[in-house]
């Protein structure tokens, strides 16, 4: 499971011209579910993300977690994070989980984030053509891979 975290001042998701989710200060999480991912991958990422100290303290040092600052989270499913670009010029997505399994683990991840103590968790619309708008704060953008975190 792969995640791109972006610390944001605000973020929103629009589908068919309608804003379906929006947050203020917090994290936009783009989540890619790979073939073979399990609940354990979601558990590992949820715990890491909720507690990752990437928000600034009063000394402007990244010392505070999303939980500490009471930030919100917007989670958007993004199978393109599982792209394989090794051969040719067109990525393949054979490494992405099948849609039913990807959606199940996406929803499971969102529940795990809530269980970690994040009180405001919003989502995109799984499988939809979404427009994601954000104001990146910092900018701070971090890549996480549950496979690497398991080691």
Which listed residue (6, 14, 78, 123) is catalytic? 78
Which listed residue (38, 80, 131, 141) is catalytic? 80
Question: Is 109 tagged catalytic?
Answer: no
State phi, psi for 105 to the nearest 5 degrees. -75, -30
Question: Is 55 tagged catalytic?
Answer: no
Question: Is 6 tagged catalytic?
Answer: no
**CA dihedral for 19, 21, 24, 28, sign (positive or negative):** negative
Which listed residue (6, 14, 79, 109) is catalytic? 79
Measured distance CA(58)–CA(141) in Å, rounded: 21
The residues annotated with a catalytic role in the active site are 78-80
């Amino acid at each position: 499971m792969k995640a791109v975290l972006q610390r944001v001042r605000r973020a929103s998701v629009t589908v068919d011209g309608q804003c379906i989710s929006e947050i203020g200060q917090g994290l936009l999480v783009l989540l890619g579910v790979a073939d073979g991912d399990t609940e354990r991958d979601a558990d590992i990422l949820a715990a890491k993300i909720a507690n990752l100290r990437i928000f600034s303290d009063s000394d402007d040092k990244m010392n505070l977690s999303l939980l500490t600052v009471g930030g919100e989270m917007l989670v958007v499913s993004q199978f393109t994070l599982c792209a394989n670009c090794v051969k040719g010029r067109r990525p393949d997505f054979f490494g992405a989980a099948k849609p039913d399994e990807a959606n199940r683990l996406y929803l499971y991840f969102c529940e795990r984030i809530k269980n970690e103590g994040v009180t405001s968790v919003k989502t995109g619309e799984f499988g939809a053509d979404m427009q994601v708008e954000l104001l990146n704060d910092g900018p701070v953008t971090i890549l996480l891979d549950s496979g690497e975190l398991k080691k």
